[in-house]
Amino acid sequence: MLVLRYLASFYNYANYEVSDPRVSKWLLMETPWPGLAILAFYLMFVLKWGPKLMENRKPIKIDNFIKVYNLVQVFICMFLFVEGWRLGYLRGYNVLCQPVDYSADPYPVSIARRCHIYFLVKVLDLLDTVFFVLRKKQNQVSFLHVYHHTGMVMLTWSGVKWFPGGHAVFMGFLNSFVHVVMYYYYFLTSVSPKYKGNVWWKKHITQLQIIQFGMIFLQWFALIFQPNCQFPKWPLFILLPQNCFMFLMFLDFYYQAYVKKKPVQKAPTVEAPNLSHKALVDCHSD
């Protein structure tokens, strides 16, 4: 009973007392349970229900839907990138230390709302895996792919709940730009199959991913040397190892695929150096 009381007390403290009250009534933000329910359904579908459903069926033809989906992603991510530049860095946001403004003024609330949209985009990204399942490409549903998409929903929800803005904006700002390039490439491949085997696109998207993870890691790492910065330090324990892991994974993939010039395997099932490029590119830091 004492443990249950402690857990209930901690839940109330974290979910109501120290969270940002401005976001509490926004979609999926009042409590973690709706988001966790979505993730539970997602995991069950892509790992169990979906493969079972498609076992004796032909791949579902959703090419036109995927074209629209990719194009929508391009426009949403472009909007978030432009808004991050307009509301953040054009207004003097400090890349090395930027506290969160928790006031109810229109400007910080606008930033918080963009952070919320970014979180919703991470929820939308879960459809990437669903498409793999429905098209019977279960070999692309790797551990790293599922882990990354699940983790990004949880991390971005936490960001919006406790610090929607400030230092964390850089990660979403940079990631949104990378997603513009990625989903535009996906759109091109869905319109014209000749782009699917284009090594130029794949090579430079991988380079862009490596640069992204490196920059995000350095930006969070710099926070360690800002003892007077009012941005919370606890995210460092999660984000630094995460970005370091992704940076090394992409660096190894780049070396294997473009430096040693070994053929890229098309349909691996685990996350290690055998990941397909599509699965790797989907594992952004979201």
Residues annotated as catalytic (active site), given as ranges: 148
Distance CA 37, CA 70 (A): 25
Distance CA 167, CA 121 (A): 19
Q: What sign does the dihedral 131-133-137-140 (CA atoms) show?
A: positive
Total count of residues recorded for the chain: 286
Chain-centre distance of CA 234, in angstroms? 19
DSSP-derived secondary structure for 166-225 = GGGHHHHHHHHHHHHHHHHHHHHHHH-GGGTT-HHHHHHHHHHHHHHHHHHHHHHHHGGG
